[in-house]
Structure 1
Amino acid sequence: MRTPLRFSNVSFAWPDGSVVLDDLDLLVPAGRSGLVGANGAGKSTLLHLASGDLLPSSGSVSREGRVGVLRQDLALHPATPVDQHLGVRRIRDAIRAVEGGSVDPAHFDTIGDAWDIDDRITAELARLGLPEDVLGRRLGQLSGGELVQLDLARLLLQRPDVLLLDEPSNNLDAAARQRLYAVVQGWSATLLVVSHDRELLERVDRIGELREHTVRWYGGGYTSYAAQVEAEQEAAVRAASTAREEVRRQRNDLVASQQVLAGRKRYAEKMYATKREPRAVMKLKRRSAQVSAAKYRQLHEGRLDAARERLDEAEARVRDDRGIRVELPGTEVPRGREVLTARLELRTGARVEFEMRGPERVAVTGANGAGKTTLLHMLSGRLEAVGEVAVHVPLGILEQRLTGLDESLSVFENVKLRAPDSDDNEVRARLARFLFRGHGADRPAGTLSGGERFRAHLAAVLLADPAPQLLLLDEPTNNLDFASYDALVGALGSYAGALVVVSHDETFLAEIGVERHITLDGAT
C-alpha cells in the first residue's frame, strides 16, 4: 500500500518546553483517513507538521506530491478580495488582458494551461454552494461558514495530491455540510481529516486515534471505530478486574507465606535453644532454613510484583477520557422574569423581533450568511444595534471565532480579568473542572489547541463575576472531542439561566432542550 505521508520518529515541543508529539511513527496510506483524539492530543499540530507549516523538533516528515491544507484557525485579512484569496486573480487578469488584445509573453506565462480557470471556479463554487458573484466580494463580507467553503474551493482548484482538513465542518449549515460530505466521499487521492463530526467520519476508509503520542488505525468509519473501541474497553475492564483480583490473591499469599516463615523461625530458634542436636548440625540447619526461607519469600514477592505489572498494563488500556465538569452558580433565572427584548434589522434586510422570559432556550438557525452571528453580536453589544435591544440580566457570550482571550496571558489570568474579586484558589479549583489542572492553568492562551481554547473561553465566560444569566453561544460544539461534547451537553442541561444558541447541529439542540427556533433566511 502506498504511503503518501510518512512520519519517522517525529517529536515536537513548543518554545516553552511543552511536548506535543514524542517519537511518533506514522504512515498515512492513500485513500480517505480520519484522525481523532482528545482535545490537546496534538491533532492540529500533526496536520501543521504534515503540511510543512511547522518543522519537527526531531525526526522527519516525507510527502508525495502537492499538499493542500484547510486550517482550523483561518488567519484571513478582511480586505482581501475573494479571487485573490483563491489564488486566481493574476490568471484571470492575464486572460482578460489577452482577450483585450495583449500579446505580452508574461501574460501567457501566467496563464499557462489554465485557460479554463473561470469555468473551473464556477464549477467549484457551485459544488460547494457558493454563488458566482462571491468573486466580487472581500473576505470580510463573508460569514464564518462561507469562509470555510471558500477556502475549500481554493484547495479544490489547486488539485492537491494530499488534502489535509482540520475540522472542516465547523460553522457550516446543513446544506453546506452535505456538500462537504460529498467532496470527502468522492475524494480519490489522499485525504487526512481531523474531525469530531461523526457523520463526516462515516465517509472515511479508516480512522486513526492519536493517543499518548501514538496513532492507532481502525478500519471503517465512525460506527466501526466506536464499536471496536467499545469492544476493546470491555475487554480491558475485564482484564483489569482479573489483574486486580490476582494482585489481591498474591498479596494474601505473601502474607500467608510470611506467617509460615515466622512460625518456622520460632521453631528453629526453639530447637537451637534446647540444643537437641550438636551445635554444628544446628548451625547448618539454620543456614539451610534461612536460604530456603529467602527463596520462598522471593518467590511470593516475585509473583506479587509480576501481578502488579500485569495490573498496570491492564489499567493503562482502560481509558480515562475525562470531559469538562461545569458548575454554574448564580445563573438561575426565575420563570416569568423578563430577560431580553429585541427588535432588530440585519444587514440582509431581515427583521427580527422576539422576547425571552425566564430560563427559556432559543435556537437561532439559518443558512451561512443569513446573519446569525451578527444577531448575537447586536444582542451582546459588540455591534451597534439597528433597532432596539434591552437585556435585563447579566450576559455572557461565547463567540464563534474564540477571539475573546488575551493571547499573552495565561488561562488563569484571563479568567481573573473577568472575576477580579474572586479568590485565586477558588478560581484554580473551578478551572480544574474545565481540565486546566496545576500548571495547565498557567499556560498562555496563545499556545492552546482548538478544543483547549474552547474550554478556556467557556471558563472565562461562565466563571465571570457576575455569572451570566443569559448565555449566547455561537456554534459551541466546534472543536470539541467526544467526551467534552457529552460533558457540555450535560452542563447546559443543568444550566439554570436563559440560552440563545446558534448551531447547525440539530442533535445538539435537541439534547440541550431548545424550546423555540428563530430561523433567519433573509425574511421576517
Structure 2
Amino acid sequence: MTDSPHIALERVSFRFADGVMLFEGLSEVFDDRHTGLVGRNGVGKTVLGRLLAGDLQPSEGRVVRQGRIAYLPQHIVAAADARVVDLAGCAHWFDAMQRVMRGQPHEDDIECLEGRWDLVERLQAALHDEGLGHLDVQTPAAQLSGGECSRIALLGALQADADLLILDEPGNHLDQASRTRLGQRLASRRGGVLLISHDRDLLAGMQRIVELSASGLRSYGGGYAFYQASREQEREAAWQTLNSARVERKRGERALRQQHERQQQRMASGLRQGKDSNQAKILLGMQKNRSESSAGRVATRLQAQRQKLDEQVRDAAAALDEEREVTLHGQAAPLPPGRRVLSWRDLRLPFGSPPLPDVELFGSRRMAIVGPNGCGKSSLLALLSGRLAARSGECRVEVPWALLDQELQGLAPQESALEHLHRLAPGSAQSVLRTRLDHLGIGPDAALLPCARLSGGQRLKVALAGALAREPQPRLLMLDEPDNFIDLDSRLALERFLRAYRGALLVVSHDGAFLDALALTDRLQWTAAGWLHEVL
C-alpha cells in the first residue's frame, strides 16, 4: 500500500449492538480523489463515514488510515456553553492562546501553537467571507441558527490542516449562496475529499462516485452525470434480465408440465400392458413400485428445475429491489377557497428582525418562505405552531396543522417508527401503517427499530408519515427544509406528493428546483429592505 494519504477498508463489516448487520465485507480505498458517496436512506452511509474517520470501530475487518483526516458529522450538536470557536473545531488552540496571553500557559501550549498564532485572524476573515462577519469567535452558539452553526462547523473543517476531508451532508441547512461557495471551495481543494451527499450540484464536481447499497460498494469513474447514466444503463439491463428470466421460466414450466404428463402417460400405459398380458400380481406390484420410484425421481428432478427457474427470476428481481418507487400517503380533503387558514398582523419575530408584512391565507394556498440563514424562517414556523412567542403583533392558525421542524422534535428516540405512527393515528390498522412505511423504503425490520437507530433520511420520512397520518388530519403542513437528508428518489416522491396535496402549505427550503416543483402561489422572502410578500 502506498504511503500517500488514504483510507483503506479491508473486508469491513458493521453490526449493531443487538446483532443486526448493517453491511459486511466492504473493501475500498479513498485517496486524494474527490469522491462522492451516495446511496439510499438507511443503507449505512453515515456509519461508513464514521468508520472511515475513526469515530466508530468495525465489527469485523479493519480500516487503515494514512495521513491527517478531518471529519464533519451530519448533525452539529453544540454544547450548552459552546462558542463560535468551538463549532469551528479550533477551541484547543484558541484556549491555549488565551492562556499564553494571560501569562499562564500550560506546558505544551507554545509548541501546539506553532504555525497557528494567527488563528483568530484567519477564522475571523473566513467568517467575514462567509457573510458571518458580525460574529465574534467567542459568540455563544446558543445565539445562532441551525444554518449558522452548520456553516461555522463547515468553515472549520475546510480550514483544517488535513490530507483527507470527510463531509457528511454538508449542504444541509445551507442557503443557496453558501452552497455555491462550498462547491467552489471543494473544487479548489487540493487534498482528498469524501462527500456524503444527495446534493446533485455538489456531486457534479466530484471526480468519482461510490455507491453503497445492500450489495456493497461500487465505484464509478467520473462525476454524478456519468454515475446517473451508468446506473440508468444498469437498470435497463436489469429489467431486460428480469423479463428474460420470466420468459424463460414460463417456457420452462410449460416444458416441465409436458415432461410430467408424458411420464404419467408412460406409467399408465405400462400398467395397462401388464394387466393385458395377464402377468402375476407380484410382478404387477413390482412393476408398479418401479414406476412409482421412477416417477418420484422424475418429480424430484422436475421440482429442482422449477426451483432453479424461480431462483433466476428472484435474483433478477433482487437487482431491481432498491429501485422501488418511493410513495407518500395521506391526502387532505380540499380546502374551500374562502376558508381562512392563517393570518398575522403587525408581527415581529422574537430575535430582532424587521416586522413581517400582514398576511392572510385562504384555501389551498402554497407559500414558500425563503431567505439566508439566520433571517428567521424557522422562527416564523415555530411562532405559528406556538413554540415561540412573538415580540409583538398577533397570529392565528385556524385549521388543523402539522409541523415538520428541522430537529424532528416530535420523534421520540426510543420509539419505533411503527409506534410513532400508531401514537399519532391510533385508529389506523397496523397493517396500513406498515404499508405506509414500506412504501417509504422503511421495511418491516427498520419499522421496529428505535428512531434513534434510523438514518437522518429515514427519521425525516417517519416524521413526515406521522404528520400526514395524525388525527385529525392536517389541513395545513408547515415544513422546515423537508428536502434535507433524503435521497434523490425520496425527494422526487416528496415533490410529487406536495404538488398534489390539496391542503395548504408553508415550506422553508434553500433548493430553488424543489420549490419550483410545488406549484407555489405565494412567496415570503427576506430582502435587504426586509420581508416581502409576493403573490405568484
Query: TM-score, normalised to structure 1's length?
Result: 0.90
Report the secondary structure of 1:49's partner residue. Answer: helix
Aligned match of 1:453: 459
Aligned-residue RMSD, C-alpha = 3.2
Residue 249 of structure 1: which of 251, 256, 260 is its match?
251
Aligned match of 2:534: none
Please say if residues 32 and 187 of structure 1, whose CA atoms lie closer than 8 Å, have aligned partners that are also in contact.
no
Please say if residues 462 and 468 of structure 1, whose CA atoms lie closer than 8 Å, have aligned partners that are also in contact.
yes
Aligned match of 2:493: 487
Residue 345 of structure 1: which of 348, 351, 359 is its match?
348
TM superposition shift of 1:380: 1.3
Look up the equivalent residue of 1:476 and give its one-letter code: P
Aligned match of 2:508: 502
1:146-196 deviation line (CA, Å, top 9, x unaligned):
211111111123221221111111011110000111122222222111111
Distance 2:224 2:108 in 1: 50
Please say if residues 353 and 376 of structure 2, whose CA atoms lie closer than 8 Å, have aligned partners that are also in contact.
no
Cα gap change, 1:283 to 1:447, in 2 (>3 Å): closer
Distance 1:266 1:414 in 2: 62
Does residue 468 of the first structure (1) align with residue 474 of the second (2)? yes
Residue 169 of structure 1: which of 168, 171, 176 is its match?
171
Give structure 2 stretches of 5+ with no counterpart: 532-536
1:11-49 deviation line (CA, Å, top 9, x unaligned):
222223332122322322331111111111011111111
Does residue 405 of the first structure (1) align with residue 407 of the second (2)? no
TM superposition shift of 1:366: 0.7
Distance 1:189 1:226 in 2: 25
Q: How many residues align?
A: 524
Aligned match of 1:7: 9
1:87-143 deviation line (CA, Å, top 9, x unaligned):
435544655776788999765234222123234324433554432634242212222
Please say if residues 402 and 477 of structure 2, whose CA atoms lie closer than 8 Å, have aligned partners that are also in contact.
yes
Residue 24 of structure 2: which of 22, 25, 28 is its match?
22
Which residues of 2 match residues 142-161 of structure 1 at below 5 A? Answer: 142-161=144-163
Higher relative contact order (CA 8 A, sep 6+): 1
When structure 1 is superposed on structure 2, of 486-495 and 322-331 the one drifting more is: 322-331
Cα gap change, 1:323 to 1:79, in 2 (>3 Å): farther
Cα gap change, 1:160 to 1:288, in 2 (>3 Å): same
Which residues of 2 match residues 131-150 of structure 1 at below 5 A? Answer: 131=133, 133-150=135-152
1:193-238 deviation line (CA, Å, top 9, x unaligned):
1111111111111111111150111121221111111111111111
When structure 1 is superposed on structure 2, of 500-509 and 147-156 the one drifting more is: 147-156
Please say if residues 31 and 190 of structure 1, whose CA atoms lie closer than 8 Å, have aligned partners that are also in contact.
yes
Cα gap change, 1:267 to 1:504, in 2 (>3 Å): same
Distance 1:352 1:77 in 2: 32
Aligned match of 2:37: 35
TM superposition shift of 1:364: 0.6
Does residue 368 of the first structure (1) align with residue 373 of the second (2)? yes
Cα gap change, 1:111 to 1:339, in 2 (>3 Å): same
Please say if residues 23 and 213 of structure 1, whose CA atoms lie closer than 8 Å, have aligned partners that are also in contact.
no
Look up the equivalent residue of 1:150 and give its one-letter code: I
Which residues of 2 match residues 60-139 of structure 1 at below 5 A? Answer: 60-89=62-91, 91-92=93-94, 107-131=109-133, 133-139=135-141
TM superposition shift of 1:453: 0.7
Distance 2:98 2:289 in 1: 103
Aligned match of 1:520: 526
Cα gap change, 1:110 to 1:218, in 2 (>3 Å): closer
Distance 2:275 2:172 in 1: 84
* Identity in percent: 34
Please say if residues 128 and 180 of structure 1, whose CA atoms lie closer than 8 Å, have aligned partners that are also in contact.
no
Distance 2:500 2:270 in 1: 69
Distance 1:13 1:405 in 2: 24
1:462-508 deviation line (CA, Å, top 9, x unaligned):
22221211111110000111221122112212211110100011111
Distance 1:319 1:370 in 2: 42
Query: TM-score, normalised to structure 2's length?
Result: 0.88
Distance 1:217 1:491 in 2: 32
Distance 1:288 1:427 in 2: 55
TM superposition shift of 1:305: 4.5
Aligned match of 1:264: 266
Please say if residues 88 and 154 of structure 2, whose CA atoms lie closer than 8 Å, have aligned partners that are also in contact.
no
Please say if residues 129 and 179 of structure 1, whose CA atoms lie closer than 8 Å, have aligned partners that are also in contact.
no
1:332-390 deviation line (CA, Å, top 9, x unaligned):
32112111111322324322122211110000111111111111111111110122111
Report the secondary structure of 1:465's partner residue. Answer: coil
Aligned match of 1:178: 180
Distance 2:73 2:106 in 1: 37
Give structure 1 stretches of 5+ with no counterpart: none
Distance 1:312 1:419 in 2: 35
Please say if residues 82 and 139 of structure 1, whose CA atoms lie closer than 8 Å, have aligned partners that are also in contact.
yes
Distance 1:427 1:310 in 2: 32
Report the secondary structure of 1:5's partner residue. Answer: strand
Please say if residues 36 and 208 of structure 1, whose CA atoms lie closer than 8 Å, have aligned partners that are also in contact.
yes
